[in-house]
Amino acid sequence: MKILLGVSGSISAYKALDIARGLFKNGHEVKVILTAGARKFVIPEVFTYLGVTDVYNSEDDFLHKNVLHIDLARWCDVFVVAPASANTLSKMARGEASDLLTSVFLALEPSKNSLIFPAMNSVMLDHPFTKENISDIKKLKTLNNLFVSPTDAGILACEEVGLGKLPSVDEIIELIPAMVKPLSGNNQKTILVTTGATITPLDPVRYLTNSSSGITGFYLAEAALSMGHKVIMVAGLNATAKLDLFLKHPNFTMLRTSSVEDMKKAVHENLSRADAYISSAAISDIEFEANDEKIKKDTITDSLKIKKASDILKSVLEKKSDKQLVVGFAAETDTSDAILNKKMQSKPVDLLVGTKVHNGLVKNQKVAGFNADHADYRLLTNKGYIFEGPLSKRELAQKILNHIFPSNSL
């Protein structure tokens, strides 16, 4: 992806170095425009050492044979301003073309996305003029998916506490590629995803869970958002914090749940809105008859009363419409034909993802599937197996999305 990164005169300008480096490491081609104010905080040459292809200053438009702001506007897949100072926001809202950055902004084709990440003192951010400028920019719907990020709260450079902080570098790096491909109408789908582990309480102190990190759900969201779809994420309470990196994405909604019943309720409250349901969560099969008070050691016996937990996937298959697609996951220590075919017969999903797993706590075996970026998978449809072998979880997510919505493949 070709990313044009504009950097303006905010103290947060130094974070643009890490943003550029992170984007380059993720395989993107990056060019940078520095405003005159940004030059007070960062040195252009540092960007080139971090993998940036070219760095331009505010007056470089007059030093090239071609019209540079037009060339750059045509070159990029997405235009990003991070950080965007109050001064730069004001210029963009008024449609000024007083330097290279603002000229590029005006020269972008309507199909190009612009992502703007403000950063400034909280009093400046709350000033009526700044609020009006941000509001005016957000109203420019003709610029397609123009996105103005909310700021974070925290300790600012002036030692005051409040809103105005630039979002984290990791968040910006994840949001940029996830907002490049706008879709609308019938092409844009809503995908309901469960991820992470459920928690089954035994008493107010103890509970049963598993080693699922929820990272598969993160990659499913990344792939779906990058394809232009909407995502409703129902995540286990302790599922990876990386999911929070998408919270500012306008096409991403997340609900954190703990128990199986909590997750089931959240799924069914949102099922009617979904074109597809992907059940990647590691949902407990059993529940305890939970005690109201901590079980004392001297009352513990050799057995615990358990019962079957609700089968969320089965309940979805019973209530889904004919048009809704369903992807099921089978986390098994044995992913043989007999096991997976039985799973498919009992719960006939559109795609079954068999995952070889082991928590590493039994018989000194290696951890597999859980808390790892790779696993061995077998992908089964009603027509047979369509894939068998190792994949990274990012590769798996892309395979799943490409299978259920092939016309929007990455």
* H-helix segments, 61-183: 68-75, 86-94, 100-107, 122-126, 128-138, 169-178
Distance of alpha carbon 243 from alpha carbon 246, whole angstroms? 6
Longest dimension (CA), the chain: 86
**Range from 89-103, 112-126, 292-306, 392-406 carrying the lowest mean pLDDT:** 292-306
Res 38: pLDDT: 96
Distance of alpha carbon 356 from alpha carbon 335, whole angstroms? 6
Q: Assess whether the previous peptide bond of 83 is cis (omega < 30° from 0).
A: yes
Question: Does the global pTM surpass 0.75?
Answer: yes
Q: Regarding predicted confidence, which is higher, 4 or 140? A: 4
Closest CA to 194 of 246, 251, 270: 270
pLDDT at 143 over 60: no
- For 152-181, how does the pLDDT look when each residue is reduced to its tens digit (9 = 90+)? 998 888 878 889 899 999 999 999 999 876
Average pLDDT over the chain reads 90
Distance of alpha carbon 277 from alpha carbon 189, whole angstroms? 11
- For 233-251, how does the pLDDT look when each residue is reduced to its tens digit (9 = 90+)? 999 999 999 999 999 999 9
Res 48: pLDDT: 94
Count CB-CB contacts under 10 A for residue 333.
Answer: 13
Res 179: pLDDT: 84
Q: What is the mean pLDDT of residues 15-20?
A: 97
- For 18-42, how does the pLDDT look when each residue is reduced to its tens digit (9 = 90+)? 999 999 999 999 999 999 999 999 9
Res 144: pLDDT: 53
What angle do the packed helices 100-107 and 86-94 form, to 10 degrees?
40
DSSP calls for 302-328: S---EEEPP-HHHHHHHH--TT-EEEE
Asked about 76 being catalytic, the answer comes back as: no
Q: What is the mean pLDDT of residues 292-297?
A: 86
Residue carrying the six token digits 């926001």 = 89
Distance of alpha carbon 403 from alpha carbon 401, whole angstroms? 5
* H-helix segments, 5-145: 15-25, 44-49, 68-75, 86-94, 100-107, 122-126, 128-138
Give the whole-number percent of the chain exceeding pLDDT 70. 92
399's enclosing H/E stretch is helix 393-404
pLDDT at 303 over 60: yes
Provide the token pair at 194: 């469960």
pLDDT level of residue 183 (50, 70, 90 thresholds): low
pLDDT level of residue 182 (50, 70, 90 thresholds): low
Q: What is the mean pLDDT of residues 207-226?
A: 92
Q: What is the mean pLDDT of residues 296-324?
A: 90
Q: What is the mean pLDDT of residues 199-213?
A: 88
Res 185: pLDDT: 64
Catalytic residue among 43, 123, 153, 158: 158
230's enclosing H/E stretch is strand 230-236
Res 354: pLDDT: 92
Q: What is the mean pLDDT of residues 212-218?
A: 92
> Which domains are present in the chain?
2-178 (3.40.50.1950), 185-408 (3.40.50.10300)
Res 365: pLDDT: 58
- For 49-60, how does the pLDDT look when each residue is reduced to its tens digit (9 = 90+)? 999 999 999 988
